[in-house]
Amino acid sequence: MTVTNVSSQRSAAPAGGRFPGLAASTLITTGLLILVGGVVRVTGHGLGCPDWPLCYGRAIPPGLTGAWVEFTHRLASTAAGAQIVLLGVLAWRRHRGEKWIWRPALAAVALLAAQIPLGGLHVIMENPPETGLAHTALAMLILGCLAVVAAAALPAGDRLQKAAARQLARGPLAGWISLLAVLSYLLVLTGSLVTRSGASLACPAFPWCGAASTALGRLTDIQMLHRVSALAVAGLALAVIVQIGRRAPATPLSRFAQLLLGLLLSQLGLGAANVLLRLPLWTRVLHLTVAAAWWAAVVMLWTVVSRGRSLSRADTEPTAYS
């Protein structure tokens, strides 16, 4: 066995001990935090606590519904933040030999350090769209970093990676998946822009815009930007899913692709329901939650395919030692 092969296999091995469980729980907790944040926003309780970090000047808020809805989000933020910091510390102390673990883990901690004061600023400034959009952008970047760590640390990610190394080592599919990850992130941002700008019902019909008022020109453009972005992501995602099914049938990768298909169809249905049902609370919350799940799943797919290709290239490179 070559020296290169030894190092590549070591880098490909999943993390042991309790770290994989922590990586999975941190990813889930952060996803739930995004769900709770969606509830806060769609119920109009973003200013349920008008000050920060206290709530009405108190550590425990008064018995007001809005205050407790917002305070629940702050409690969830504290729990997720503690896990992210712990994950970063353990990744640095125990997994510095695996760049796919310690780098995104520390990146998540750095992003968290920016996200916390941004959240406070968002409240103090009374929820302007600009800080809200930035808050969503950072939240999704944190979730993406945690998805990379989970994909690299979990045994399931190792199985996906091995399948990718065998089945997807050649061809342009890895590039397609990278593009899908970038477009999926931008799609989330356009969705947040739709919500923050008040363009959610600028187009009253679906899938076409319908008889939109000419007075809503800018809002209509924002809504259609989101729809065109969704169409581009859906088309590319279907191409990726079909290719994985053809090149890696009856493997963990094909089953993961089926999960992606389910998330994609669910998200498209929720997007249509948002418009056709005129923004009920449940579709708005689920639309954001499934968007976060889709983004995390695509990042995990990108991670295992990228690591699998790296492993495949390392195994085929000639070396001076054997």
Residues 172-228 have pLDDT tens digits of: 888 999 999 999 999 999 999 999 999 999 988 888 888 766 667 889 999 999 999
pLDDT of residue 204: 86
Question: Average pLDDT for residues 13-27, to the nearest whole number?
Answer: 84
Q: Do both 116 and 191 map to the same domain? A: no
Would you say 49 and 56 are in contact if contact means Cβ atoms under 8 Å apart?
yes
Question: Which residue has tokens 């049902």?
Answer: 277
pLDDT of residue 191: 95
Asked whether residue 54 is assigned to any structural domain, the reply reads yes
Check residues 316 and 58 and name the one with the higher pLDDT: 58
Q: Do both 140 and 164 map to the same domain? A: no
Least reliable range by pLDDT among 37-46, 59-68, 103-112, 157-166: 157-166
Q: Do both 192 and 314 map to the same domain? A: yes
Domain endpoint, select from 115, 131, 153: 153
Q: Check pLDDT > 50 for residue 140.
A: yes
Q: Do both 69 and 191 map to the same domain? A: no
Asked whether residue 2 is assigned to any structural domain, the reply reads no
Of the pLDDT bands very low, low, confident and very high (cuts 50, 70, 90), residue 312 is low
Question: Average pLDDT for residues 255-261, to the nearest whole number?
Answer: 95
Asked whether residue 169 is assigned to any structural domain, the reply reads yes
Q: Do both 268 and 139 map to the same domain? A: no
DSSP structure class, residue 214: G
- Give me the domain span that covers residue 102: 10-153
pLDDT of residue 213: 66
pLDDT of residue 315: 52
Q: Do both 218 and 293 map to the same domain? A: yes
pLDDT of residue 313: 60
Asked whether residue 253 is assigned to any structural domain, the reply reads yes
Q: Do both 55 and 196 map to the same domain? A: no
Task: Count structural domains, the chain.
Answer: 2
Q: What is the mean pLDDT of the chain?
A: 88
pLDDT of residue 2: 40
Q: Do both 115 and 220 map to the same domain? A: no
Asked whether residue 3 is assigned to any structural domain, the reply reads no
Question: Which residue has tokens 């510095």?
Answer: 96
Check residues 287 and 170 and name the one with the higher pLDDT: 287
Among 19, 185, 3, smallest CA distance to 102 is for 19
CA distance 184 to 178: 10
pLDDT of residue 214: 66
pLDDT of residue 11: 44
Question: Average pLDDT for residues 306-310, to the nearest whole number?
Answer: 80
Q: Do both 237 and 265 map to the same domain? A: yes
pLDDT of residue 320: 41
Question: Average pLDDT for residues 276-295, to the nearest whole number?
Answer: 95
Least reliable range by pLDDT among 119-123, 133-137, 164-168: 164-168
Domain endpoint, select from 107, 125, 153: 153
pLDDT of residue 106: 98
pLDDT of residue 314: 54
pLDDT of residue 321: 40
Residues of the chain with pLDDT > 90, as a percent, come to: 68
Structure tokens at 252: 């963990």
Q: Do both 183 and 316 map to the same domain? A: yes
pLDDT of residue 4: 39
Domain endpoint, select from 128, 153, 178: 153
CB hemisphere CA count around 165 (13 angstroms): 18
Q: Do both 142 and 181 map to the same domain? A: no
pLDDT of residue 9: 42
**DSSP states along 79-141:** HHHHHHHHHHHHHHHH-TT-HHHHHHHHHHHHHHHHHHHHHHHHHHTT--HHHHHHHHHHHHH
Asked whether residue 1 is assigned to any structural domain, the reply reads no
Q: Check pLDDT > 90 for residue 168.
A: no
Q: Check pLDDT > 80 for residue 155.
A: yes
Asked whether residue 288 is assigned to any structural domain, the reply reads yes
Asked whether residue 198 is assigned to any structural domain, the reply reads yes
pLDDT of residue 92: 95
Q: Do both 200 and 279 map to the same domain? A: yes
pLDDT of residue 240: 95
